[in-house]
Structure 1
């Protein structure tokens, strides 16, 4: 089983191998940073294991070092495995879900356009405090979690919704809004919250009624930040995809689902009906 200790050890081993490859080609950390357009501190953090290098970062470094093919395959796979383990939900809980929420907030702060599709629950940026509390308190989710801290951190992210310089587009399914995550009061208040947020000029909230035929089976939720990365969460993992092909695929998928949704007054009427049903 993965542990924080084994993760740190294996990250340090990858970092040391990358450092040795740099030394072998006679380059300084500053020279590598200049070649890649990175800060020198980023190279240092990668080589000391203070950060987990992404597979893309490792690939760029190996290009500079002209590493042999067998070494490339080995280190790229190790980097991908480390990133997957870092984002396994059990590992994230050990870090503290409030810290995870803070990590996400920092990413969102640096993002001009956020697109989120969610087929099974209300997206975190749109959740009321009580809805979020129920989410973080579910049996398989709450182990080792400080629910109060996690809820507070999630709610702090929502201030970004009121920044007119940034855009948010959410598409949720009717099923996501009908699942009884909480009691009647919680669900009814959540529908009201969605309707209110949908009036913000920089926030778009679309709902796909379940009688609408969709072009693809909605297998999982995802978030695309600008056009550079995709976050996909399952029951046990949180994947971050940066390959341009993956990003393009999810942008296309989002557009397809968005075309199926209802918006504005139509969506608000729909949400009002759901609020009454939940009450």
Structure 2
């Protein structure tokens, strides 16, 4: 297959590369093309060089402006749609935990409506500093063997994660968090830190732009809580893994994850105070038990 200008079209050639060849064949610079279609030259450069996933509509606008036949336009738009639908590993380099936190924070700051589901741990935007430190220390064990490097990396990552939470103070944005009750029972840090985490959840839930739902342990579920994810403006799905992350900007993926989120949210209660009260009593009791343990000179512990 070839374009109207006779340029052969490789079925495996990236969309951006095809658009770049069409532009050069038309004798246009990136700036001239941008002026013609109302896009910035840097944006066109990013599309041509494959930096990020191009919007299919933008691809169609550029291809038509460059005189491509409608068949070619639709083919390029289909390719762009397919690339966005795929789940892509976004940690392609050794960015480290702090780098990952900064990347996610950048996405969140560009988002007006954020939906987060977590089946095992408190969502990052709701974590207390002590809870975040415990979580990130476990992650960092997979990356660093040097204890000094690990300590620095964890401290930087905790700081970056806490900075991410500043976005919650923007009341022009909305945040909906859903988590399973297992999140509260999973003892990822000492009882005192779990108590601080419960307080953090109470504080966040009091904000008008924040909704927190908890799926009770005995709640009937129509959708299994397989894994956690973030849905940003119903346009980007982020799945955080142990050593990397997966993203998709595909409309189909975003629609499916919105359905999953809505199903889990429907099974959750937003009357979370009684649930938090129950776990606060549990961790108070455990904290008191720890305080009553006295280590004797011989190394034995007795209550």
Tell me whether the two structures share a fold, i.e. TM-score over 0.5.
Answer: yes
1:114 Cα offset (Å): 0.8
> 1:149: which partner in 2?
156
> 2:88: which partner in 1?
84
1:260 Cα offset (Å): 0.9
In 2, the alpha carbon distance for the partners of 1:60 and 1:38 equals: 11
Structure-to-structure mapping, 1:235-274, within 5 angstroms: 235-263=242-270, 266-274=271-279
**Does 1:54 pair with 2:53?**
yes
1:173 Cα offset (Å): 0.3
In 2, the alpha carbon distance for the partners of 1:267 and 1:95 equals: 36
> 1:22: which partner in 2?
23
> 2:204: which partner in 1?
197
Q: CA offsets per residue over residues 140-197 of structure 1, 9 Å max, x none?
A: 6551561111110110111111222211110000112211211222222212211221
Residues matched between the structures, number: 258
Q: CA offsets per residue over residues 192-236 of structure 1, 9 Å max, x none?
A: 211221111111111000100111111111111122222122334
1:36 Cα offset (Å): 5.8
In 2, the alpha carbon distance for the partners of 1:17 and 1:210 equals: 52
**Aligned-partner SS, 1:230:** strand
> 1:168: which partner in 2?
175
**Aligned-partner SS, 1:137:** helix
**Aligned-partner SS, 1:138:** helix
In 1, the alpha carbon distance for the partners of 2:244 and 2:98 equals: 17
Change in CA separation of 1:140 and 1:163 when aligned onto 2, cut-off 3 Å: closer
Report which stretch shifted further, 153-162 or 269-278: 269-278
Residue pair 2:235, 2:254 contacting (<8 A) in 1 also: yes
Change in CA separation of 1:183 and 1:37 when aligned onto 2, cut-off 3 Å: farther
Residue pair 2:180, 2:215 contacting (<8 A) in 1 also: yes
1:76 Cα offset (Å): 5.9
> 1:4: which partner in 2?
none
**Aligned-partner SS, 2:179:** strand
**Does 1:40 pair with 2:57?**
no
> 1:275: which partner in 2?
280
In 2, the alpha carbon distance for the partners of 1:182 and 1:158 equals: 20
TM-score normalised by structure 2 residue count: 0.72
CA RMSD of aligned residues (A): 3.3
> 1:108: which partner in 2?
108
Which structure: larger Rg? 2
Change in CA separation of 1:17 and 1:53 when aligned onto 2, cut-off 3 Å: farther
Which structure 2 segments of 5+ residues have no match? Answer: 1-13, 145-149, 287-303
**Bigger share in helix:** 1
TM-score normalised by structure 1 residue count: 0.78
Residue pair 1:116, 1:171 contacting (<8 A) in 2 also: yes
Which structure 1 segments of 5+ residues have no match? Answer: 1-12
Residue pair 1:113, 1:225 contacting (<8 A) in 2 also: yes
In 2, the alpha carbon distance for the partners of 1:77 and 1:17 equals: 15
> 2:230: which partner in 1?
223
